[in-house]
């Protein structure tokens, strides 16, 4: 019978223990959620700004769809993180997300029923309304 040397096990432990300790010192769920909310807020802001810059001369269906998808993606990102927030911050984010999501859904339904020229005209008004809603709901959320 041969006796195995404990050296390989000690070497493995010497590598794994520090890795385990360092990985345990990561961001808290709350901090990760805050970061995700801020990333989502930026996506929403970028989409709203892009929609606001659309004019009758520059508007195209694909541009508008991309802007709306960007806003939706940002709102979804925020929604995925809001349950990990706590207290007033959670309430603030949930309220802002629900309000802006509702506003965006209303705009999408209105635009879907119009012809392209009517939709473009309506879009300009809707973009301003969405920007005002963003300013009221998401802009106050500090990141």
3-state secondary structure 64-129: HHHHHHHHHHHHHHHHHHHCCCCHHHHHHHHHHHHHHHHHHHHHHHHHHCCCHHHHHHHHHHHHHH
Q: What spatial distance separates the first Cα and last Cα of the chain, rounded to whole Å?
A: 64
Across 9-16, average pLDDT: 50
User: For the chain, what is the mean pLDDT?
Assistant: 81
Q: How far is CA 42 from CA 13, 38, 67, 93, 112, in A?
A: 43, 6, 13, 14, 26
pLDDT in tens, 90-132: 999 999 999 999 988 988 887 777 776 777 778 778 888 888 8
Judge whether residue 20 has pLDDT over 50: no
For residue 16, what is the DSSP state?
H
Q: Does domain 29-137 have CATH number 1.20.120?
A: yes
pTM (two decimals): 0.73
Residue 94: predicted pLDDT: 94
d(CA 14, CA 89): 42
Across 18-27, average pLDDT: 54
Name the token pair of 47. Answer: 């989409």
d(CA 100, CA 94): 10
CB-neighbour burial class of residue 13 (10 A; exposed 0-12, middle 13-18, buried 19+): exposed
Assign 68 a pLDDT band (cuts: 50, 70, 90).
Answer: confident
d(CA 89, CA 120): 36
Assign 8 a pLDDT band (cuts: 50, 70, 90).
Answer: low
């Amino acid at each position: 019978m041969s006796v195995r040397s404990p050296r390989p096990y000690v070497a493995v432990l010497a590598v794994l223990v520090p890795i385990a300790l360092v990985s345990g010192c990561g961001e808290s769920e709350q901090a990760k959620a805050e970061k995700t909310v801020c990333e989502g807020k930026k996506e929403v802001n970028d989409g709203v700004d892009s929609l606001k810059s659309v004019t009758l001369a520059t508007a195209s269906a694909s541009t508008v769809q991309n802007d709306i998808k960007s806003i939706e993606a940002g709102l979804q990102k925020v929604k995925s993180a809001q349950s990990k927030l706590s207290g007033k911050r959670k309430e603030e984010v949930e309220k802002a997300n629900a309000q802006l999501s509702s506003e965006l859904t209303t705009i999408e339904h209105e635009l879907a029923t119009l012809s392209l020229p009517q939709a473009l005209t309506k879009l300009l008004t809707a973009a301003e309304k969405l920007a005002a809603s963003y300013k009221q709901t998401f802009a106050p959320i500090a990141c």
